[in-house]
Chains A and B, each alone.
Chain A
């Protein structure tokens, strides 16, 4: 029997190949999950469409998200706010989704929206500062006005924040305590 390393290695060729395929598969799987099964675009309790509201009816963002430029939190509109308008929009009153809304309203229950843009508790983020700095909502939230179901376009993770702060060289934008708390 020879002492050539290659000969010795040959039988290991196939397991190695299998391994490679497996690893490749892992990447594919992760990618597929991210694309199709992730929490980036969950089914909401009511099929609310930003497309209809923002584009078709040209309602500005802060008409509903009233706190965005005043407080750290943009604020999801209260049920009363929704009803406020929809009472005066008879055309869609019979629409099944609107009926859901009405149901919540009559039960005096909040709508359990599923959070799409979520930051961890240790992050200090304020909408106010970013909006007063002249950022458009879309810069982080993507073309919301074209979405029928809200979808997260950004990772909302630290590298993403840091990159933006770096590009615009925000004053002390890369000091940890600017965002961490």
Chain B
């Protein structure tokens, strides 16, 4: 019993993940982001997101692991549009992880908030608990008009009806990078070796991804930027994504 208590005590202390090799982190510079949505299509291509069709959009059942949120500020003529890319924040204290009764979602040693499609029974609790609303449910089994299915990425499962899905930080790419690292006996992957689809595509280089356990990594430097903040920080979900606010001049 005491061991359990011990476990519980040291569980998810701040910096719980520092002892591991990786803590995958992303920074998003809103001063660079132009809301062009290249990231959304990149994600769709990389992660086999379904083409849901007009009807499903009308029903508000689209699946976009990363989306651009729009906020108007002020009124004409002094009106401003603000974009903010919203994807799974991979919180260290993720509300969704306590919610799932079958451990289909959990936090792994790389600081990733993961979703195991095969284990999911579709209670959808995680989506209710998630304050960022970045978890997407497969209301149906989606199909691809032949021959579009030939594009499907073999490194990523095609999800069936009744399971929850969400951003994985392109874990398949992380996996390949780790594999290469192992091949030439490196303990860790090099900085910049892993690039999720969205980060890779971003034409303004607003998105930066890396291992924040590595102080030399670009992302670690970006995180120190005084403009940095976390969305809905007050909820204490300790997200792994740091946003840099837009500069007003």
Contacts and interface: CB of A to CB of B under 8 A. Distances in A.
Tell me, yes or no, whether A and B come into direct contact in the complex with CB atoms closer than 8 A: yes
Interface of A: 121-122, 124, 126, 128-129, 132, 172, 175-177, 180-181
Contacts, number: 39
B179 A181 contact: no
B179 A176 contact: no
B157 interface: yes
A181 B114 contact: no
Contact of B109 (A128, A175, A180): A175
A132 B185 CA distance: 11
B114 A176 contact: yes
Query: In this complex, which of A128, A172, A177, A180 has the most chain B Cβ atoms within 10 angstroms of its Cβ?
Result: A177
Interface residues on B, range: 10 to 19
A175 B158 CA distance: 20
A128 B179 contact: yes
B156 to A, nearest CB: 6
Given A122-B118, A176-B108, A176-B119, 7 more contacts: A122-B117, A124-B172, A128-B179, A129-B179, A177-B108, A177-B175, A181-B156
B114 A177 contact: yes
Given A122-B117, A122-B118, A180-B116, A175 B108 contact: yes
A181 B108 contact: no
Contacts of A132: 182-183
B172 A172 contact: no
Nearest to B114: A177
B106 A176 contact: yes
B18 interface: no
A121 B48 CA distance: 14
A172 B112 CA distance: 13
6 contacts: A122-B157, A124-B155, A126-B179, A176-B106, A176-B114, A176-B116
Interface of B: 106, 108-109, 112, 114, 116-119, 155-158, 171-172, 175, 179, 182-183
Contacts of A181: 155-157, 171-172, 175
B65 to A, nearest CB: 15
A65 B183 CA distance: 20
A181 B157 CA distance: 6
A129 B157 CA distance: 21
Contacts of A128: 179
A121 B108 contact: no
A124 B175 CA distance: 10
Contacts of A176: 106, 108, 114, 116, 119
Contact of A177 (B155, B156, B171, B182): B171
A126 B117 CA distance: 20
A177 B157 contact: no
A181 B156 CA distance: 6
B155 A180 contact: no
Contacts of A121: 157-158
Query: In this complex, which of A132, A172, A176 has the most chain B Cβ atoms within 10 angstroms of its Cβ?
Result: A176
A87 B183 CA distance: 37
Nearest to A70: B183
Contacts of B117: 122, 180
Given A129-B182, A180-B118, A172 B157 contact: no
Nearest to A122: B157
